[in-house]
Amino acid sequence: MSESTFTVPVGPQHPALKEPENLTFSVDGERVVDVKIRLGYVHRGGEKAFEVRNYNQGLYLVERICGICAMAHQLCYANNIEALHGIMVPRRADYIRTVIAELERIHSHLLWVGVAGHEIGWDTLFMYTWRDREVVLDLMELATGNRVLHATNAIGGVKRDLTPEMISKISKGMKHLEERVRYYAAMIPQEKTIMKRTVGVGILKPQDAVDLCAVGPTLRASGIKRDVRRDDPYSAYDETPFDVITHGGCDVASRVLVRVGELFESIKIVNYASEHLPSGPIRVKVPINVPAGENVSLVEAPRGEDIHYCKSNGTDKPERYKVRAPTLANWASMATMLRGGYVADIPIVLAAIDPCMSCTDRMAFTDVSANKQWYWTIEELRRYSANWHGK
Amino acid sequence: MNIVKWSRIKSPWIFHFNAGGCNGCDIEILAALNPRYDIERFGMILRGSPRHADVLLCTGTVTRQIHDRLKRIYDQVPEPKFVMAFGNCACSGGVFQKCYNVHEGVDKVVPVDMYVPGCPPRPQAIIDGAVKLLGKLSKS
Amino acid sequence: MVEMARENEIVESLRAKLGKDLIEAKLQKPRRVFVTVTSSALPSTVQFLRDSHDMKHVSTITGVDQGTEIGVYFHLMGARQNADSREIVLSLKATTPKTDPRLPSITATIPGAVLYEREVHDMFGVIFEGHPDLSPLIVPDGWPASLYPLRKECTIDFIKGEISKVQGGAK
């Protein structure tokens, strides 16, 4: 039988707590006993909105599900509608999409390493990585016209071509970033501060990761080798050589190392794809009405597997559009990672899944043995954590 | 000009609140803290608590779930306070207009002093917005 | 004719196992299979796909308003033949009447389905029998109890109207 140790994340029921928060913790002194998850704060009603917008308008809505993985969502959407039309985009467009998607992965992973550094009080790492990230944002702006939220996909291809001048700048940028990533790859495992705060923290055993359907770097940091770019290839990934990075540590440190490894792979892919751009058009025209049908589309966003389902009905608006962003796939595993760990480790474990927790998010705590209840914002929790870790 | 007002103009403290945004705006605000834009050289500092803030910087379209919390945070910011709606969603709902779970903009919940449009606005826009706000502060 | 040997193998084994409980099977294209089963056959089908075809991953669960019925798709992924081959996405569907929407939960077989079933419950009102905790996941506190936003009869104006009855005031 399986060796998994999870229990399904139901969490404590505490009617005394007047305002259910996103996360409700049961603790026993310094240890987390259980956690309940509730995710209402960013629900905007996006899926309903798709049904009253035409497919072109949907391109802009879908990007804004998450500003960090915007290109991934838009690519997944474009692929979905293109499949319903029964068309293939020009090969050159597939390659350009691959370049932009990997630039997005680089920006996202650098952002994440910086945020993780900030969580454990190491702001220098935050400043370094975000400064390097500006190189990627400059390249994004060059290639798509915007730093964040690029809108570079059309249904049928891409909107802008990559000129030889852009490719030359991209190549220079990648050389610079490769040096920087080598620096981080060498430095991070040596840094006792980081290792002390991340090794053995937030454990997710391989069997649990599989049973709880984790995705992305979180899954691969538990040694499971799954990546949509290889398992269900799209764009130019079927022709681009790259490795799927895994790590067996099952902890936050492994999640850091997987992302650092993926940075090297992304640089490789950007270089390969931009150097092997097929000639030809970048876009085909499609009619505004989409033939009736249904389709499932997946991409590997920086945070993991992104899946979209579309049901079309012959009109210019979808009958149903469903998005499951990668972060949601990892919330079920979150409870397992937190249970049994220290309260002081909550911020870094959360950051390892989702850097989108804003300062004002409050968490409810109940100490089962001391019989106390209180709320903490993430800021207050960070302060507790810093004091506890003796910084 | 009294000393409190002078110090506020020299060094406005900002509390950043995400009211249900996609994080596009939030990462550009964080980028403004970094070496290239460095808003701290203007004396602008991000604080961890609304009670120490002069400026409430809001991103996102204000979901129903976060509505009460935004009101509460606003009340915690001491007078005189200023509210900056950063990004199209915070200004007017952005692409999420007519969605069932949103208020279309921060000013549907609390009064706004400065609107910074963009999707997202660039880091330079925070600096621009904050400098204009300082101008407003010095006149108040 | 594109080769879909593995996809075909899976569908044929389901036909053999389920008989009349298999309502429809469609090999849409390589790596995309759509299968509709009776709701009672759902848990055993998921278990069979997990144990015999290595489909252990639920990517998500999608609810669709089909008029008098709610269709629920369980998007499963796996069935890799060897370490280097690709995976198959099998969308397993069951329908349930809107007047009394209930389906068996698959969380006993694939625990990772737990939040996706909660989301379908929030948006469509489907009760997943055997789910450990169907409390609201994404609708905000104070949401009217039988308001299921993704049902077609719940237009955006209708939803806003219902909310203001309960909460009074919000735009």
User: Which of B64, B98, B99 comes nearest C170 by C-beta?
Assistant: B64
Mean per-residue pLDDT, A326-339: 89
Supply the DSSP symbol for C138: S
Evaluate if residue A236 carries a pLDDT over 90.
Answer: yes
pLDDT tens digits, A2-12: 333 334 443 44
Q: A320 by DSSP, 3-state: which?
A: strand
pLDDT tens digits, A179-227: 999 999 999 989 888 899 999 999 999 999 999 999 999 999 999 999 9
CA distance C137 to chain A (A): 5
Evaluate if residue A18 carries a pLDDT over 60.
Answer: no
**Residue C96: pLDDT band with limits 50, 70, 90:** very high
Q: Domain boundaries in chain C?
A: 5-136, 139-171
DSSP H helices, chain A, are: 46-51, 55-63, 70-85, 91-119, 123-144, 164-187, 192-198, 206-211, 216-220, 228-231, 252-275, 326-338, 346-353, 378-388
**B128 against A207, higher pLDDT:** A207
- Contacts of residue C156 in chain A, CB cutoff 8 Å? 45, 48, 52
Give how far the C-alpha of residue B105 lies from the chain's centroid of Cα atoms, to the nearest Å. 12
Size of interface B-C (CB pairs under 8 A): 23
Pick among A358, A363, A377, A379 to test the B interface (most B CBs inside 10 A): A358
- Contacts of residue B24 in chain A, CB cutoff 8 Å? 64, 67-68, 70, 148-149
User: Which of C141, C142, C159 comes nearest B100 by C-beta?
Assistant: C159
**A369 against C105, higher pLDDT:** C105
- C61 contacts C119 by C-beta, under 8 angstroms: yes
- B59 contacts B90 by C-beta, under 8 angstroms: yes
Q: What is the pTM of this model?
A: 0.92
Q: Could you tell me what percent of chain A has a pLDDT over 90?
A: 66
Q: What is the model's pLDDT at position A252? A: 95
Contacts of C60 (CB under 8 A, 6+ apart): A307, A309, A322, A324, A328, A329, C75, C116
Neighbouring subunits of B (3+ Cβ pairs under 8 A): A, C
- Name the CATH topology of C5-136: Beta Polymerase; domain 2 (3.30.460)
Q: Domain boundaries in chain B?
A: 12-139
Q: Say which range, A256-260, A268-272, A363-367, has the weakest mean pLDDT.
A: A363-367
pLDDT tens digits, A360-388: 566 788 888 888 888 887 778 888 888 89
Interface of chain A against chain B, CB under 8 Å?
A: 40-46, 48-49, 52, 60-61, 64-68, 70, 111, 126-127, 130-131, 133-134, 137, 147-149, 356, 358-360, 362, 379
The answer to whether the Cβ–Cβ distance between A45 and B122 falls below 8 Å is no
- Max mean pLDDT range (A349-353, B36-40, C42-46): C42-46
Query: Is the ipTM of this structure higher than 0.85?
Result: yes
The answer to whether the Cβ–Cβ distance between A127 and B96 falls below 8 Å is no
The correct CATH number of B12-139 out of 3.40.640.10, 3.40.50.12280, 3.90.1640.10, 3.30.70.100 is: 3.40.50.12280
Q: What is the mean pLDDT of chain A?
A: 89
